[in-house]
Amino acid sequence: MSRREDSNRKRALRDILAYEDTITVDVEKTVQKVRERAKTLHAELDMYITNILNQIKQKFEQELNKIRYTVDKLKTNDHSPTRKGTSRSSSMDKSPRYRSTPRSSLDFSLHSRTSVSYVDVDEMHQYDKKEIHFVEGEANDKVFERLVGHYTFDTTTPITFNAVQRSIISDNKSEVKLVKTFKVGDKSETVHAIATVEEDQAWICCGWGSRNLSLYDRHGQKKKTASLDIQVNDACTFHDGKDDSVLVSSFREKSIKRLNTDSLRTSDFAYISLFPGGLAADRRSGLYVCFRDSYQRQAIFGSRRMVAKLSKHGEIVATMEKNEEQTNLFGYPFRIAVNTNGDICVSDYGDGTRGVTILTKDGRVKCWYRGPPTGIASDQPFLPHGIVCDEDGHILVSDWNNDCIHVLDKDGNFLLNLISKKDGLEGPNALGLDKRGYLWVGDSHGVVRIFKYSVYDG
């Protein structure tokens, strides 16, 4: 074993032992919180039951006082006629006696008196009787979860075992050919937006904070440049049912603009109170946008991190933010793509949520992809950036940390690494697919590479 491999194994051993200590402490803290919550709920339940019993006592006393009042009035105001030769007292003796409700079986101590106003018996048309029933409340897992709370047990940053580089045996094969490499910016600038148009062209933005979008063809020739009044975050082509245009998100200005590719003028498409990021259009004039409420990578309590669907007029028609347990689906949603089956694929590099989240078209979580399986060579934790879907339903996502492009099937299963560092990639960021199936890859050094590829599923 080489010195490097031995060092890596020792580091992995140290990390996993530290993880054992950390999760042990976390579990102990969580168990203690659950027990404290149980004590609090027991006290609150006892108080609630006491209040119910007191209310029942009060209602019973009010009704009992009303009964007694009415009986007394009926006895003292009896003006019924008597027969000739029969005394009033004898007539009353023959009338039914009032029998009070026995209370020996009721465990109530009615010491307080409640002030109740009664209508005179002579003015009463009827006496309204009452019934009392007890309706049992629900007792199921969902109710208990709302009362007690719930725990999460999520995967965070993985511990990598990269002492020995191994290749996975797979039936999945691919063919990749580099077609063109060209520079679109300085070596220190990142290509962060690629919006493919027509059959062999794409609008590209290079450099965070840039206000320029430039149109390049597949041969690397710049055709024209649009200077915008906003800083560009992402861009995508969009068809509103009549015309084609390019939509541009601006994280800083919290707006989405429509670029007329002929006049190179922009118009307002949508203004949102959150910061817009990745954009993707479906085939029905719908637009999907990644939104965040801050620049912070880690979501805190109350943070807004979501994907929203906008109509062709720029109105929000649906949001995807929380799961059934009302916890956030995303930590830092970055880029987004719509698959051929309507699934919504989101790259997320937030702390604790890093990976690819795949949602069905109605917003339910279908699956997560947290990185390649054991046995795939990777030097660093998976860090997803750009994402696109091809005509065969494959999901392609750039891994910035490991300088490669992962290919997933439509169910989020890893198939293979399509392109890697040996193909010249270094810090791949933006991805684009044109209509002829050419893959455009923008990196962190102002370079765009165009590949022709095929994936053969085993």
pLDDT bucket at 377, cuts 50 / 70 / 90: low
Domain that holds residue 63: 3-74+109-148
Q: How far does CA 92 lie from the centroid of its chain? A: 78
What is the structure's pLDDT at 348?
95
Same domain, 118 and 193: no
Average pLDDT over residues 136-154: 83
Task: For residues 293 and 301, give the distance between their C-alpha atoms in angstroms, rounded to a whole number.
Answer: 12
Backbone angles phi, psi at 316, to 5 degrees: -75, 125
Same domain, 62 and 180: no
The reply to whether 336 falls in a domain is yes
Average pLDDT over residues 39-55: 92
Same domain, 32 and 70: yes
Average pLDDT over residues 56-77: 88
The reply to whether 235 falls in a domain is yes
Tokens of residue 220, six digits? 């690397």
Same domain, 137 and 216: no
Same domain, 262 and 136: no
Same domain, 120 and 217: no
The reply to whether 244 falls in a domain is yes
pLDDT-wise least confident of 14-18, 146-150, 190-194, 224-228: 14-18
Same domain, 182 and 142: no
Tokens of residue 161, six digits? 């075992």
> Which of 331, 336, 309 lies closest to 320, judged by CA?
309
Share of the chain above pLDDT 90, in %: 54
Same domain, 216 and 275: yes
What CATH number should be reported for the domain holding residue 205? Answer: 2.130.10.10
Task: For residues 342 and 361, give the distance between their C-alpha atoms in angstroms, rounded to a whole number.
Answer: 5
Same domain, 343 and 208: yes
The reply to whether 42 falls in a domain is yes
Same domain, 248 and 116: no
| Alpha-carbon distances, residue 247 vs 182, 217, 339 (angstroms) | 24, 19, 19
- Whether the model clears a pTM of 0.85, i.e. scores above it, the answer is no
How many structural domains is the chain composed of?
Answer: 2
What is the structure's pLDDT at 3?
62
The reply to whether 272 falls in a domain is yes
Tokens of residue 126, six digits? 């009827």
Q: What is the pLDDT of residues 153-172, one digit of tens each?
A: 776 666 665 443 333 434 56
Same domain, 59 and 182: no
The reply to whether 97 falls in a domain is no
The reply to whether 85 falls in a domain is no
Q: What is the pLDDT of residues 22-34, one digit of tens each?
A: 888 888 888 989 9
Helix, strand and coil in the chain, % to nearest 5 = 20, 30, 45
Same domain, 17 and 120: yes
